[in-house]
């Protein structure tokens, strides 16, 4: 007879798994290639990874636990952990989430969603509606957090389905709900601010390779990747959830969609301010340092780096006048601190502390070099290109069951050492792994966008839809990530060591 374990006992076992594994590992002799404190570092990393994998606490809480865990083991002092708060990636997240918060406060994001549904290209075709929908949410996720976008778009899709009494088995509705999760997960790879793993990847590359990826360098590879990937997932939808027969014609009255957009009224001053702030920030993110060089402003090269621009433009939202209060006569500004508190990515910032500390401990113990050497031994006579390709595909598949932030912290240092060992471009290789970490699209426990769409999709979606479509998407985009970084990476990124 099978033994049933109560949830509380299971929770206790998961809790104990970390410290027990740590105690077992930390006093073992270091393996070949490790630093003298390598096993102690490995013990701490295993403890943290087990808690991440078993989800005994939420990801931010487990990340905070890195401070006492690494401090207790003596491998990373609390002061060293807290110094991560000054990392440029932290400042980019802080400022960018305030800017995105302005989009939410002004309600521009909802208007954008209905613009997508009312695009003239659609003209009554379900396939064209799906195409615009996928690209609409996918491209928006390049500059906006993907989870709120998934929630917004799946909510609008379900609202339309219910208002128009569409069949619960409608492949159109299933597609709209599924791609409310997949498109933003994929689109988040386009720019550094698009996905939570991106800033972790950038920070880990800086730690492992002593090279700071610029906003432009990431986007130069990320934007083409996302454009190709969005076309690919549109074609995947054609055979995973085909629109046949009556579904080929849009079952949603155009008047209904038009009315929803009209109900929002004309674009407000608040929305214009939100658009201006984001567009101006995006221009400076992409071209700021180049413009500073062009006019001979040497200090401007650093002043216009992506983190500084993010904080500056985020601060500007508190200074731009919106309107005058009728009662008090005081000026109301576009953003206040109470509003900002709702939108600043505190959870991501806390998670960043844990993942960057995890990466630092891996490097201190020489675990990245040891793991890279073991992979090279196992690979035997395989060429570097094949090792790179297999590593990226495995990363994509692993992202379905391991939290992508934890996965990035584990794999980026190993990829950096593999690249150096085999002689291929390490920055491009690490970026390909970073891109693959973004495509968690199969299960709700590994992807918040899937969780949001699965819950929000209600009667129109089933878990098997995400599993089949997500698996095909994962393999396809992992291959695209490798090919793009293998062929274009060395062209768009500086020569390694230059």
364: part of which helix (H) or strand (E)?
helix 346-364
Q: Hey, what are 169's tokens? A: 């088995």
Instruction: Name the nearest CA neighbour of 186 among 141, 234, 133.
Output: 141
Q: What is the DSSP string of 7-48?
A: HHHHHHHHHHHHHHHHHHHHTSPPPTT--TTHHHHHHHHHHH
Flag whether pLDDT at 463 surpasses 80.
Answer: no
C-alpha 475/C-alpha 397 separation (Å) is 7
Mean of pLDDT values over 157-183: 80
What confidence score (pLDDT) does residue 322 get? 92
Average pLDDT on 447-463 reads 74
State the pLDDT at residue 1: 47
Q: Average of pLDDT values for 239-250? A: 75
Q: Give the whole-angstrom CA distance, residue 117 versus residue 172.
A: 13
- Contact of 353 with 346, CB cutoff 8 Å: no
Give the separation between CA 91 and CA 189, rounded to whole angstroms.
19
DSSP for 283-335, please give it. HHHHHHHHHHHHTT-HHHHHHTSHHHHHHHHHHHTTTSEEEE-TTT-PEEES-
- Among residues 142, 59, 5, 16, the alpha carbon closest in space to that of 402 is found at 59
pLDDT band per the 50, 70, 90 thresholds, residue 391: very high
> What is the model's pLDDT at position 226?
92
The mean per-residue pLDDT over the stretch 472-491 comes to: 92
Q: What confidence score (pLDDT) does residue 484 get?
A: 94
Query: C-alpha dihedral over 94, 96, 100, 106, to 10 degrees?
Result: 80
Q: Which 8-state DSSP code applies to residue 125? A: B
pLDDT averaged over every residue in the chain: 84
The string of pLDDT tens digits covering residues 145-158 is 676 677 777 877 78
Q: What average pLDDT does the segment 332-361 reach?
A: 83
Task: Report pLDDT digits (tens) over 218-242.
Answer: 999 999 999 999 999 898 888 777 7
8 A C-beta contact, residue 222 and residue 285: no
Confidence band of 309 (pLDDT split at 50, 70, 90): confident
Burial bucket for residue 125 (CB in 10 Å: 0-12, 13-18, 19+): middle
Q: What is the mean pLDDT of residues 476-484?
A: 93
pLDDT greater at residue 388 or residue 307? 388
The helix/strand/coil state of 402 is: coil
pLDDT of residue 85: 74
How far apart are the C-alpha atoms of 434 and 397, rounded to whole Å? Answer: 13
Asked whether residue 256 carries a pLDDT value surpassing 60, the answer given is yes
Q: Which of 236-250, 403-417, 441-455 has the lowest mean pLDDT?
A: 441-455
The pLDDT, as a whole number, for residue 497 is: 57
Contact 215, 285 (CB under 8 A): yes
**Per-residue pLDDT averaged across 93-109, rounded?**
83
Contact 185, 477 (CB under 8 A): no
- In the predicted model, is pLDDT for residue 485 greater than 90? yes
Mean pLDDT within 244-273? 84
- Whole-number Å distance between alpha carbons of 437 and 398: 8
Helix (H, G, I), strand (E, B) or coil at 222: helix
Q: What is the pLDDT of residues 7-54, one digit of tens each?
A: 788 889 989 999 999 999 998 998 887 888 889 999 998 998 888 777
Q: Number of helices (H) and strands (E), helices first, in the chain?
A: 25, 2
> Do 447 and 440 touch, CB atoms closer than 8 A?
yes
Helices (H), 74-145: 78-82, 88-106, 108-117, 126-140
Residue 409 contacts residue 200 (beta carbons within 8 Å): yes
Q: What is the dihedral of CA 467, 470, 476, 480, to 10 degrees?
A: -150
Between 293 and 71, the more confident residue is 71
Residue 446 has pLDDT above 70, yes or no: no
Is the distance from CB of 450 to CB of 470 less than 8 angstroms?
yes
């Amino acid at each position: 007879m099978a033994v049933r374990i109560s949830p509380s006992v299971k929770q206790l076992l998961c809790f104990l798994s970390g410290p027990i594994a740590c105690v077992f590992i930390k006093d073992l002799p270091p393996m070949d290639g490790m630093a003298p404190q390598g096993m102690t570092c490995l013990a701490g990393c295993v403890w943290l990874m087990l808690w991440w994998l078993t989800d005994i606490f939420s990801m931010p809480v487990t990340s905070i636990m890195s401070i006492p865990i690494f401090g207790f083991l003596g491998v990373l002092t609390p002061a060293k952990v807290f110094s991560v708060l000054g990392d440029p990636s932290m400042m980019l997240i802080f400022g960018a989430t305030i800017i995105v918060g302005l989009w939410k406060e002004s309600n521009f994001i909802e208007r954008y969603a209905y613009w997508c549904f009312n695009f003239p290209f659609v003209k009554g075709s379900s396939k064209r509606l799906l195409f615009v929908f996928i690209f609409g949410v996918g491209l928006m996720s390049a500059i906006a957090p993907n989870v709120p976008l998934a929630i917004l778009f799946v909510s609008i899709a379900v609202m339309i389905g219910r208002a128009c009494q569409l069949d619960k088995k409608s492949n159109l509705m299933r597609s709209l709900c599924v791609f409310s999760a997949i498109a933003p997960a994929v689109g988040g790879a386009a720019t550094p601010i698009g996905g939570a793993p991106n800033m972790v990847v950038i920070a880990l590359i800086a730690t492992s390779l002593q090279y700071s990826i610029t906003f432009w360098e990431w986007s130069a590879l990320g934007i083409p990747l996302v454009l190709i990937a969005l076309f690919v997932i549109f074609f995947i939808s054609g055979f995973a959830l085909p629109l046949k027969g009556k579904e080929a014609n849009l079952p949603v009255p155009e008047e209904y969609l038009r009315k929803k957009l009209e109900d929002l009224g004309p674009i407000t001053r608040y929305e214009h301010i939100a658009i201006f702030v984001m567009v101006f920030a995006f221009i400076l993110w992409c071209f700021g340092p180049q413009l500073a060089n062009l006019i001979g402003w040497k200090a401007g090269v650093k002043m216009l780096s992506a983190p500084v621009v993010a904080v500056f433009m985020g601060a500007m939202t508190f200074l731009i006048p919106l309107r005058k209060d009728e009662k008090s006569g005081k000026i109301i500004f576009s953003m206040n601190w109470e509003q900002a508190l709702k939108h600043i990515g505190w959870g991501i910032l806390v998670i960043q502390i844990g993942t960057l500390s995890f990466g630092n401990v891996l490097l201190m113990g020489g675990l990245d070099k040891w793991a890279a050497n073991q992979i090279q031994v196992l690979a035997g006579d395989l060429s570097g290109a094949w090792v790179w390709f297999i590593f990226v595909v495995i990363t994509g598949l692993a992202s379905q069951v391991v939290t992508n932030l934890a996965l990035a912290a584990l794999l980026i240092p190993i990829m950096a050492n593999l690249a150096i060992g085999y002689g291929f471009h390490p920055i491009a290789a690490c970026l390909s792994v970073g891109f693959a970490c973004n495509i968690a699209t199969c299960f709700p426990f590994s992807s918040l966008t899937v969780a949001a769409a699965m819950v929000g999709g209600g009667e129109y979606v089933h878990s098997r839809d995400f599993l089949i479509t997500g698996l095909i998407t994962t393999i396809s985009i992992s291959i695209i990530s490798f090919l793009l970084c293998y062929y274009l990476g060395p062209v768009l990124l500086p020569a390694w060591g230059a």
